[in-house]
């Protein structure tokens, strides 16, 4: 069973968003990494890029599948996790920790409130 | 109604991730595609390939009939020899690619799982001469033991030297007490065997092979790694790389087509296609930058669309994206620079032969 943690918000497209002040850290969920398995390439949005919630901002490639990466919140990318770009298998090992993808300075720090909570996300993946 | 192979319970026990494939519940992976791929390249792994279809042709005219049905020259087969071949529609499109086993009193056609019923109907519809046609797929379990250590494992189950069975040869024998059809064939580019048994002996067969393989840390391998392994040695996959809209000449399977043999289905069309000249050819290419080709991505060269990707994957051995697809002549030439356009756009280069050249196959 996929691991769902408290203290973060979730998107319907299986990203997680952790808000700290006006900065949001984003990554993909344990469910997403396990469905993809063997992630071999990741392209998060570049630092300085303006992203809009719900828009495709990057790609994740596994051996057998490619998927778009959607922004959970709107704002400007301020940091990218270069370690996962160099070794994307980190995402498979620790999706909520070392496997984070990028940080956004949020236009509206309250925007994440509209995303799914842990219970709601759990319901979503149980339907799959 | 999905079918289960006779090894299904073992897949559950080994925590295989089960998916639907060609009408069967099949394991797509156990520990993960990458480690399983490595296991087969460096040691030995076991694939459940019981979903493959088996069609038996019996009767005194079986060679004549199979030679009429298939493109390769089946009349050249000696007893217990195996041949790769294709079956065509009248227009030269491919019905299926298959293995032809010339066995005692029968010819066994081993076909793609998703095509078994279609092939059987096609064969029955085109029946000629004195032959009997039987779809025996549901009675047979099949395992593929593949990797540089495959022979070392399998040798423990036979008291005669397995060296006697050469590449693309078979033997009907007993493995301990179990009657088996054993051939040195596979879909991985590595040395290895495929073992056909009656379903009733499936449990014994699995246990014998895993007991023999324990000292080599033998592992079950899923369909995911089966695909990356076949891909790296550029074996075509029916339904993706070849189908009824492609002919074997453009697919680079001309070596399995013998236009100088007697009449066979599709021969006339192939002669015409050959005379008119082939306008596109199946090519393999390697990504020169970050990017993985995926099915249906466009292939561009000289600023125009020259084809599309039929198969693409990340190569666990090469650690980069590799793809295959039909490319307009002359852009199929080795060394041609292509641009692949899909979710991302990246350059690729047409290469010669298999992507992975260090396999233990012989």
The C-alpha atoms of residue A65 and residue A72 are separated, in whole angstroms, by: 21
pLDDT at B116 over 90: yes
Query: What is the pLDDT at residue B24?
Result: 96
Mean pLDDT within B9-19: 96
Contact A38 B32 (CB under 8 A): yes
Round to whole Å and give the CA distance between A39 and B319.
12
Are B343 and A66 inside 8 Å of each other by CB? yes
Nearest residue of A to residue B36, measured between CA atoms: A38
| pLDDT in the model for residue B362 | 67
- Distance from C-alpha of B293 to C-alpha of B291, rounded to nearest angstrom: 7
- The CATH number for B279-351, chosen from 3.40.190.10, 1.10.1140.10, 3.30.70.270, 2.40.30.110, is 2.40.30.110
Q: Which residues on chain A are in Cβ contact (under 8 Å) with B221?
A: none
Residue whose structure tokens are 């014994």: B204
**Which residue's entry shows tokens 């559950």?**
B12
Higher local confidence (pLDDT), B118 or B357:
B118
pLDDT at position B51 is: 97
CA neighbor of B28 nearest in space, from B185, B221, B210: B221
Give chain A's contact residues with B (Cβ, < 8 Å): 37-38, 40-41, 43, 59, 61-64, 66, 68
Q: Report residue A11's pLDDT band, with 50, 70 and 90 as the boundaries.
A: very high
Residue B6's pLDDT band, with cuts at 50, 70 and 90, is very high
Q: With DSSP H G I counted as helix, E B as strand and the rest as coil, what are the percentages for chain B, rounded to 5?
A: 25, 35, 40
Domains and CATH numbers, chain A: 22-126 (2.40.50.100)
B227 → chain A, closest CA residue: A64
pLDDT in tens, B221-258: 999 999 999 999 999 999 999 999 999 999 999 999 99
Residue with tokens 């596979």: B186
In this complex, which of A37, A63, A68 lies closest to B313 when CB atoms are compared? Answer: A63
- Is B156 in contact with B215 (CB distance < 8 Å)? no
pLDDT (mean) for B96-104:
98
- Average pLDDT on B121-134 reads 97
What would the pLDDT profile of B182-206 be if each residue is shown by its tens digit?
999 999 999 999 999 999 999 999 9
pLDDT tens digit sequence for B311-355: 999 999 999 999 999 999 999 999 999 999 997 899 999 999 899
DSSP letter (8 states) at residue B77 = P
For residues A64 and A86, the model is more confident at: A86
Residue of A nearest to B321 (CA): A63
DSSP category for residue A44: P
What's the rounded mean pLDDT across residues B29-37? Answer: 95
Average pLDDT value for residue range A109-123: 93
Q: What is the DSSP string of B171-235?
A: EEEEETTEEEEEEB--SSSS-EEEEEEEGGGHHHHHHHHHHHHGGGT-EEE-HHHHHHHHHHTT-
Kindly list the residues of chain B whose beta carbon comes within 8 Å of any beta carbon in chain A: 29, 32-34, 224, 227-228, 290-292, 294, 313-314, 316, 342-344
pLDDT score of B17 more than 90: yes
Is residue A1 scored above 80 in pLDDT? no
pLDDT at B211 over 70: yes
Angle at the Cα of B128 from the Cα atoms of B126 and B130, rounded to 5 degrees? 140
Q: Whose CA is closest to B87, among B142, B126, B56?
A: B126
* DSSP state, residue B251: T
C-beta of residue B313 within 8 angstroms of C-beta of residue B241: no
Query: In the prediction, which pLDDT does B132 show?
Result: 98
A128 has a pLDDT exceeding 80: no
Q: What is the mean pLDDT of chain B?
A: 96
Instruction: Give the span between the Cα atoms of A17 and A26, in whole angstroms.
Output: 5
Residue A108's CB is within 10 A of a number of other CB atoms, namely 13
Count each helix (H run) and each strand (E run) in chain B, helices first: 8, 20
DSSP result, B121-148: HHHHHT--SS-EEEE-GGGEEEEEEEST
Planar angle of CA B188, B23, B91, nearest 5 degrees: 75
What is the pairing mode between strands B170-175 and B178-183? antiparallel
3-state secondary structure of A22: coil
ipTM confidence: 0.79
**Average confidence (pLDDT) over B167-179:** 97
Is the preceding omega at residue A45 within 30 degrees of 0, hence cis?
no
A23's tokens: 């900065």
């Amino acid at each position: 069973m996929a691991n769902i943690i408290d203290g973060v918000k979730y998107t319907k497209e299986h990203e997680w968003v952790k808000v700290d002040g006006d900065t949001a850290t984003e990554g993909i969920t344990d469910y997403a990494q396990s469905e993809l398995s063997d992630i071999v390439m990741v392209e998060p949005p570049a630092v300085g890029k303006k992203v809009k919630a719900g828009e495709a901002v990057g790609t994740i490639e596994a051996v057998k599948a490619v998927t778009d990466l959607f922004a959970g919140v709107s704002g400007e990318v301020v940091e990218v996790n270069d370690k996962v770009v160099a070794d994307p298998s980190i995402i498979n090992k620790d999706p909520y920790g070392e496997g984070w993808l990028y940080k956004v300075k949020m236009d509206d720090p309250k925007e994440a409130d509209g995303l799914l909570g842990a219970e709601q996300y759990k319901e979503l993946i149980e339907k799959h | 109604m999905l079918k289960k192979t006779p090894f299904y319970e073992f897949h559950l026990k080994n925590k295989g991730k089960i998916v639907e494939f060609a009408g069967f519940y099949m394991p797509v992976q156990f520990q993960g595609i990458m480690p399983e791929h490595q296991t087969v390249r460096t040691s030995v792994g076991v694939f459940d390939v019981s979903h493959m279809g088996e069609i038996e042709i019996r009767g005194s005219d079986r060679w004549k009939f199979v030679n009429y049905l298939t493109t390769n020259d089946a009349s050249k087969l000696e007893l217990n020899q195996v041949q790769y071949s294709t079956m065509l529609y009248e227009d030269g499109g491919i019905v299926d690619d298959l293995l032809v086993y010339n066995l005692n009193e029968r010819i066994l056609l081993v076909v793609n799982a998703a095509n078994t019923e279609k092939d059987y109907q096609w064969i029955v519809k085109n029946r000629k001469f004195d032959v009997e046609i039987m779809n025996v797929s549901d009675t047979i379990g099949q395992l593929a033991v593949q990797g540089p250590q495959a022979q070392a494992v399998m040798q423990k189950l036979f008291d005669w030297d397995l060296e006697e069975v050469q590449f693309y040869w078979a033997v009907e024998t007993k493995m301990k007490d179990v009657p088996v059809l054993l051939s040195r064939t596979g879909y991985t580019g590595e040395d290895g065997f495929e073992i056909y048994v009656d379903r009733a002996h499936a449990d014994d067969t699995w246990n014998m092979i895993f007991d023999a393989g324990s000292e080599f840390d033998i592992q079950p391998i899923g369909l995911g790694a089966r695909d990356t392994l076949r891909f790296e040695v550029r074996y075509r996959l029916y339904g993706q790389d070849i189908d009824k809209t492609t002919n074997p000449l453009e697919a680079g399977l001309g070596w399995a087509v013998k236009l100088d043999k007697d009449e066979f289905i599709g021969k006339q069309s192939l002669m015409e296609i050959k005379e008119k000249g082939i306008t596109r050819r199946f090519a393999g290419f390697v990504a020169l930058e970050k990017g993985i080709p995926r099915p249906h991505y466009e292939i561009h060269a000289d600023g125009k669309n020259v084809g599309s990707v039929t198969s693409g994957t990340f190569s666990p051995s090469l650690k980069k994206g590799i793809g295959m697809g039909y490319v307009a002549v002359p852009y199929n030439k080795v060394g041609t620079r292509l641009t692949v356009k899909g979710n991302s756009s990246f350059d690729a280069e047409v290469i010669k032969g298999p992507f992975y050249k260090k396999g233990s196959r012989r």
